[in-house]
Chain A
Amino acid sequence: MTQLLYILAFVVMAIGLWGILSRRHLIRMIIGFSILDTGIHILLVAIGYRKGGTAPILDEALSKGEALMNAVDPVPSALVLTAIVIGLAVTALMLSFAVRMVQNNPTMNADEHKELKW
């Protein structure tokens, strides 16, 4: 199961990267980024995953000792939350920049936005 999650994560990341590198459309490139981020999030979650584990909430049902044995690692989950928020902010900014780029030069084709070079 964990292996499967890793494979899934890398497939999603690869799809995202492929999107960034191969799509000329600005918005599609940004979507590529979102997909890449999603892949990384799956990877993080997969690292914390424990087969047959339980939620890492310490209460009567789960003592400290049991938590070490059975609970899912809570750290990657916490990291994923942060990463998702950051990814959202970056995506929003990228979209707004793309809008301004298109206002200056009305085309969505990344090839045509090459005023700065060399």
Chain B
Amino acid sequence: MVTPIVIIAAALAMAFLLPVLEKAGKGLIKTLSLLVLAGFFAASLSWVAQILQTGAIISQTAGFKAPVSINLSVSMMEATGLAVIYLVALLSGAFQIFVKKAVWQGKELSLYFALILGLSGLVMTRDLFNLFVFMEITSISLYGLLVSGRDERRFEGGFKYMIAGGLSSAFYLIGVAFLYRETGQLNLDIIVAQSGQANLYLPLLLLTIGILIELKPFPANGWALDVYESADPGTGAVISAMNTTALILVFMKLMPLLQAFGSGIVYAALIIAGLTFFLANLAGIRQTSGRRMLGYSSLAQTGLILFVLLSPSAGLSEERGLSIIASMLRLDTIEVIALALLINHALAKSALFWLTEFLKKDALHKSSEEGDYRGNRGWLIPAGMAVLALTALPPFPGFWAKWAVITSFGAAGNIGGIAVILIGSLLEVYYLFRWFIRTQAHGEDGGDVIAPQVPEDFAPEAAPAPAGLTIKPAWQIFAPALSIIILTSLGLAWAFLSLSGGQELLLLPLAALALYALFDLIALPFAVKNILAMAGLGGYAYLIYGELNNMTLIFGAVFIAGSLVQLFLLFNKRDKRSGLLPFLVMMILSLGNLLVFKSSLGFFFSWEMMTVSSFFLVIRGRQASRASLRYIMFSLAGAFMIMYALADGFRGPLTGLVFAIGLLIKMGAIGFHIWLPGAYAEAEDEVSTFLSSVLSKAGLFILFITAGIYGQTFFPGAGNAFLASIDINAILGWIGVITALAGAMMALFQEDIKYTLAYSSMGQIGYMILAFSIQSHLGWVTALYLAVTHLLFKGLLFMAIAGVIMRTGTRLMYQMGGLIKKMPISFISVLLAIIALSGVPPLTGFGGKWLLYSSLMEKGWYLHAGLAMFSSGVAFLYLFRLIHTIFLGQPKTGMFENIKEAPIWGLIPQAIFMMVIMGFSMFPSLLIKPLQAAVEMVYPAAAEGVAWQGSTVLSSLGYWNGSAVMYVTMGVFLIPLAWLMIVNGRIQKVKQFNIVFAAERPYKPETTHYAYNFFSHYQKALGFLVEVRAERFWTMIRKSTDALGGLVRRIYSGNAQTYAFHIIIFVILFHLLAGGTF
């Protein structure tokens, strides 16, 4: 083991020797530098091991004890923090030496070692003046490193940095001087130990301000943004990861002093940290430079870590993984949380800074550059993972730390803290994901992510180009990749510790992701991969089958069996489609895990995994930029609401309401639905069917298992009388029926077939919410019945339409027509599906509608029933349009003459679903009896509900015999058919544009096609109902957030003197917050 002083000596020696050794050879100094950096990292790890055995390592300098000489101390927090710093230092050194165009030479490496010397000293020293010296060494070497960039503006940024650094060290030094005057000491430990008879407010205030300015607090942080934007990305990573980590450790070192003598200062710092986190994220959304945006994110993350450290209640969590790690490292829980956030930020942010080096341009908007933005494909995986880590999504350490913080706040009733963190995080999600989506967008993806895309053009879509991710490893990205690998391993370790108490199953989606990504990497043929995926799903189903019972079994069948059948569709794929199966299997397994979780963390983990995997499925679409951004924003907003409710422990009706809203967002209920059509429609055709038929049920399932909290009786006497009187079920009922109506109405006026189906899904989900909210035996059976049958007919529709789009190359309905002869099987499957959907006899949909109306009548919700009936009528209209404009009429001349039926692999799953629909239609009891069994646990059938007579189902309002209905309808259908067959001979066939019978001759007959703007007459009458109010509302929200962000960032005027003035304002503000007077 090396003593800490050796690190200082070695770094100093390197700093002096490197310029000399450079004469001997460039290879020599590079190798030597990396070896020494690796040695530093190893030393820090050995300290961790050492401290576990013997406690903190204290090394005295110059052979005297503490007050006379300076002592260095490394305890567990410092050792682990230094390990992070040295790790980033090693990776960053390697990156600068091997990758950069202008690699570091002896000069820069010498400065780099001086910087590491300064940072090590900052972390280790216990002497306050010595701290000042190390601060200056750090700053001066950083200023030097700033010179080694390419951006001409770096000197301007550096100058502003120096102004801020100069002021910060001035405040710090004055603080030290006063502290020495009051206590006669410079050693931190001795000052803390001396009981405080002296008034240390002023010295501590100045001291804290000195450190805080270096940590870039609001509003004194404009200089930092300018530095991040103009500095070389490597240097940006150094500042953001290494410098910040060291300074936070310094701040932690000062904390005992502050807590003992300056509680007002702690409070002020807490407020400033929260403000910094929130406002940096707010201003971050307006950035057009990627690096400046990363700078804003760095400010925010630093603020977050300080905010958590200073919050009195942030470390209360008793989460399993956290407790294990804390006892393993002998740290407080709050220290573990801070450490996790530090590691998460340091590794992910430095990886992102390094990755910007490979981007052709440092810009966010399509308008500011030409052509394709994508560049190196191997770039995307680490970039995506780093974004996930920064936004605290699983499995990265940030996710676990954030969960611990939020649940701690929840336990302490710190709602304000939760709100600051979650809203701020959502803003960060927005700009980081927007940046990521922008960088990976397909070349054909039109315009800015934000600008709406109108799917109205007469030209058929261009020939399919490979969309989404393809992996091409490039060795240059080794540094960010390694950084992300280490971060992921740490996150996985935590995941394993957290879930090891009987929830190991929940880790399977990650294992699947890794496994199927490996299959992609070794380039297995797609068919083999698909078979493996099916086998994987089968194995998983077998694994969890034992844990499922009534209700979970039904949803298990929907999630897993439903997906398994639809996987057949993918055999169509001839190309590799890297990345499709890993995320698809991960999503299905995460859905399955929603059935078997055992703790609220387990639930939230699976929920987030489902969100992440489905996001990466949506983003694969060729024009899915905008849709995927909306999808992730709304999904995470919903998830954050759920997180709040879980953390709050459902203590009041408000929590129940927030939880319900979180689920409604995920289900795409009215008002929150604007993410839904894009996500379902713009995803790849084969993926849409999974999203719409399977994924959409996740929210419903959670609604079922949490049903208890929506009743009025769940929170008896809960504080506020008004809140207690809210009947969430009544709200849900109205939301359900309005969603059903709105979905149907909007589906009516789409030209794009996939948008029609997507809106139709929204409407169907509305029915399910409505049926659920009835809260009776019959209502629940209806909701489950609708869920199962929706899987069948919507899967059928999306799969059939996928085949049609594949053959015709268009999604616009008016460009199709007359396909019945070319694609008869697809026609039959669409016909069956729309009969099942619309609720006319004899297929399953009829049963669904019958059950729905029965249960609504029983409940006495007549208006709901009327509206539901009306929306069914509307649904019938769009379904009619669907089959009419695609399959009936005549084929477009010249366009679709050589079209074939959809490939066999598309037809097999359709056939399976058709058979199931037929079976359930003939024998409804096959489906309804298990559903009843599931519902019986909550609502026994005895009192109300349905009874059975053979296979005839009886309700209080009537009866339904599936087989009889089937026979009658068949009869009604067959007789006119027979008559038509007989009279068929008399038909005169007319060519499509043969308009001799009309009195005029249109110039362009195609534009008069009946299928274009098919329901214009209804649009005139009812169009006001579907005006895009929700869209407008959310656009307004986005624009006002944007404007606020713009307002905040305006204070960063770019003038060095204004920044200096901000620092003065910060000092005054801080003093006032700390309770000081003038």
Mask, A1-20, CB within 8 Å of B = 1, is 00000000000010001001
Chain B residues positioned under 8 Å from A72 (CB to CB): none
B296 to chain A, nearest CB (A): 10
Contact A110 B1057, CB 8 Å, known A43-B174, A101-B159, A104-B152: yes
| Docked pose: A114 CA to B169 CA in angstroms | 24
Interface residues on B, range: 35 or more
Asked if B889 lies at the interface with its beta carbon under 8 angstroms from chain A, I say no
Mask, A78-118, CB within 8 Å of B = 1, is 01001100100110011001101100100000110111111
Contact A113 B1056, CB 8 Å, known A40-B177, A76-B180, A97-B143: yes
Question: Which B residues between 161 and 187 are near A, CB-CB below 8 angstroms?
Answer: 162-163, 165-167, 169-170, 173-174, 176-177, 180-181, 186
B545 to chain A, nearest CB (A): 57
Chain B residues positioned under 8 Å from A82 (CB to CB): 129, 133
A37 adjacent to B170 (CB under 8 Å): yes
B155 adjacent to A47 (CB under 8 Å): no
A47 adjacent to B1061 (CB under 8 Å): no
B1061 adjacent to A40 (CB under 8 Å): no
Chain B residues positioned under 8 Å from A47 (CB to CB): 177, 180-181
B1056 adjacent to A97 (CB under 8 Å): no
A75 adjacent to B186 (CB under 8 Å): yes
**Mostly helix, strand, loop or mixed at chain A's interface?**
helix
What would be 24 A-B contacts, judged by CB atoms less than 8 Å apart? A13-B170, A17-B1064, A20-B1057, A21-B1060, A33-B163, A43-B177, A47-B180, A47-B181, A75-B186, A76-B177, A76-B180, A79-B177, A82-B129, A90-B162, A93-B162, A97-B162, A98-B159, A100-B155, A101-B156, A116-B157, A116-B226, A116-B1054, A117-B226, A117-B1052
| Docked pose: A45 CA to B733 CA in angstroms | 77
Given A29-B1057, A97-B143, A114-B1053, list of 12 further CB < 8 A pairs? A20-B1060, A29-B1056, A37-B170, A40-B174, A82-B129, A97-B155, A100-B155, A101-B156, A104-B155, A110-B1055, A116-B226, A117-B1055
> Which of A24, A90, A111 is close to B166, meaning CB atoms less than 8 Å apart?
A90
A83 adjacent to B173 (CB under 8 Å): yes
| Docked pose: A100 CA to B286 CA in angstroms | 30
- Chain B residue, CB-CB nearest to A48: B180
Asked if A71 lies at the interface with its beta carbon under 8 angstroms from chain B, I say no
Chain B residues positioned under 8 Å from A24 (CB to CB): 1057
Contact A29 B163, CB 8 Å, known A43-B174, A116-B1054: yes
Mask, B1033-1058, CB within 8 Å of A = 1, is 00000000000000001101111110
B153 adjacent to A90 (CB under 8 Å): no
Chain A residues positioned under 8 Å from B136 (CB to CB): 86, 89-90
Asked if B229 lies at the interface with its beta carbon under 8 angstroms from chain A, I say yes
- Chain A residue, CB-CB nearest to B162: A94
Mask, B132-167, CB within 8 Å of A = 1, is 110010011001100000001101111110110111
| Docked pose: A96 CA to B417 CA in angstroms | 45
Contact A118 B159, CB 8 Å, known A21-B1064, A79-B129: no
Chain A residues positioned under 8 Å from B1053 (CB to CB): 114, 117
**Mostly helix, strand, loop or mixed at chain B's interface?**
helix
A20, A26, A44, A94 pick with most chain B CB within 10 angstroms? A20
Chain A residues positioned under 8 Å from B176 (CB to CB): 79
B226 adjacent to A113 (CB under 8 Å): no
B544 to chain A, nearest CB (A): 52
A75 adjacent to B180 (CB under 8 Å): yes
| Docked pose: A8 CA to B695 CA in angstroms | 73
Asked if B696 lies at the interface with its beta carbon under 8 angstroms from chain A, I say no
| Docked pose: A53 CA to B170 CA in angstroms | 28
| Docked pose: A29 CA to B256 CA in angstroms | 37
Asked if B488 lies at the interface with its beta carbon under 8 angstroms from chain A, I say no
A83 to chain B, nearest CB (A): 6
Asked if B782 lies at the interface with its beta carbon under 8 angstroms from chain A, I say no
A15 to chain B, nearest CB (A): 13
Asked if B230 lies at the interface with its beta carbon under 8 angstroms from chain A, I say yes
Chain A residues positioned under 8 Å from B129 (CB to CB): 79, 82
Chain B residues positioned under 8 Å from A33 (CB to CB): 163, 166
B1021 to chain A, nearest CB (A): 49
Question: Which B residues between 104 and 152 are near A, CB-CB below 8 angstroms?
Answer: 129, 132-133, 136, 139-140, 143-144, 152
Chain A residues positioned under 8 Å from B163 (CB to CB): 20, 29, 33
A116 adjacent to B229 (CB under 8 Å): yes
Chain B residues positioned under 8 Å from A86 (CB to CB): 133, 136, 140, 169
Chain B residues positioned under 8 Å from A100 (CB to CB): 155
A97 adjacent to B158 (CB under 8 Å): yes
B156 adjacent to A116 (CB under 8 Å): yes
Chain A residues positioned under 8 Å from B157 (CB to CB): 116
Mask, A59-74, CB within 8 Å of B = 1, is 0000000000000000
| Docked pose: A76 CA to B178 CA in angstroms | 11
Chain B residues positioned under 8 Å from A44 (CB to CB): 173, 177
A93 adjacent to B140 (CB under 8 Å): yes
Contact A40 B1057, CB 8 Å, known A90-B136, A90-B166, A93-B144: no
A67 to chain B, nearest CB (A): 14
B994 to chain A, nearest CB (A): 63
B89 to chain A, nearest CB (A): 22
Contact A113 B159, CB 8 Å, known A20-B1060, A76-B177: yes
A115 adjacent to B156 (CB under 8 Å): yes
A101 adjacent to B155 (CB under 8 Å): yes
| Docked pose: A111 CA to B166 CA in angstroms | 19
A56 to chain B, nearest CB (A): 14
Mask, B450-475, CB within 8 Å of A = 1, is 00000000000000000000000000
| Docked pose: A29 CA to B1057 CA in angstroms | 9
B173 adjacent to A40 (CB under 8 Å): yes
| Docked pose: A90 CA to B165 CA in angstroms | 10
| Docked pose: A20 CA to B265 CA in angstroms | 27
Question: Which B residues between 200 and 254 are near A, CB-CB below 8 angstroms?
Answer: 222, 225-226, 229-230
In the complex, the 10 A-B pairs of residues with the closest C-beta atoms, listed nearest first: A117-B1054, A114-B1054, A116-B226, A100-B155, A86-B136, A118-B1049, A101-B155, A97-B159, A47-B181, A115-B153
B179 to chain A, nearest CB (A): 10
| Docked pose: A75 CA to B180 CA in angstroms | 9
Contact A90 B170, CB 8 Å, known A20-B163, A29-B1057, A98-B159: no
A90 adjacent to B1055 (CB under 8 Å): no
Chain B residues positioned under 8 Å from A116 (CB to CB): 153, 156-157, 160, 225-226, 229-230, 1054
B1055 adjacent to A111 (CB under 8 Å): yes
Chain A residues positioned under 8 Å from B230 (CB to CB): 116
| Docked pose: A79 CA to B174 CA in angstroms | 12
A51 to chain B, nearest CB (A): 15
- Chain B residue, CB-CB nearest to A114: B1054
A91 to chain B, nearest CB (A): 9
A74 to chain B, nearest CB (A): 12
B210 to chain A, nearest CB (A): 12
Chain B residues positioned under 8 Å from A79 (CB to CB): 129, 176-177
